Structure formats: C-alpha cells, structure tokens
Amino acid sequence: MNTRTNYVSNETITTARLPIGTRNKLLVLSRVKNKTKSDIIIESLEMYYKQEEGDLDSFTLGEPVFGKYGSGESDRAVTYKQRIKKKLSAKMSGEQGSVNRGAGC
C-alpha cells in the first residue's frame, strides 16, 4: 500500500491493490449510492474499526494506559478497603461535628 500526504489538508492519498471483482463492486456501489469511491472506502473502514473495537476486551483497550499514572504505592490494590474505611471514618466524624455545631448545642 502506498501513502502520500496531501499538505493542503489533513488527508492522505493511499493506493491499494484490489481484486477485479472487489473493484467492480466498488464502482457499482459508487454509482448506485452516488458517492465517491473514497467516501465508500472511508465509511467501510470506519465500520470495520468500530467492529474491531467492539471485539476487543476491556483489558486490551485499557492496556496502553495501565500503569501510566502510577502513585508509586505498590500495595494500593491490596489496601484499598482499609483506605476507604479510613476516609469514611474521617468523613463521618467530620459530619457529626458539624451537625452538633449547627444545632446550637
């Protein structure tokens, strides 16, 4: 496949070899839909990309960002329940203090 960048816009020109039958179907579809061959190919590729993204599992989709923003704490997955309990306790004790002060006791 040959690719050349068009410096006038953000588009590139890509050349691909197609079997004659595929080329003929593209020409017919282009005429029937009254669209350019480029538009049909772009729409087809976009549909293909969406289908492929749907086939990927969540691990594969998130793999590029896993570990990218690390906290430096290696035990966060193990101690998350303890950290949540600590935060909730602090929040609850803070709310009780504000309720008592707000009631004028």
pLDDT per 10-residue tile (average), the chain, 105 residues: 60 90 95 94 91 77 75 81 91 68 48
Instruction: Give the model's pLDDT for residue 104.
Output: 47
24-62: b (≥16 Cβ within 10 Å) or e: eeeeeebeeeeeeeeebbeeeeeeeeeeeeeeeeeeeee
- 76 backbone φψ class: left, alpha, beta (φ>0; ψ -120 to 50): alpha
Instruction: Give the model's pLDDT for residue 26.
Output: 95
The DSSP letter of residue 65 is: G
Q: Model-level pTM?
A: 0.46
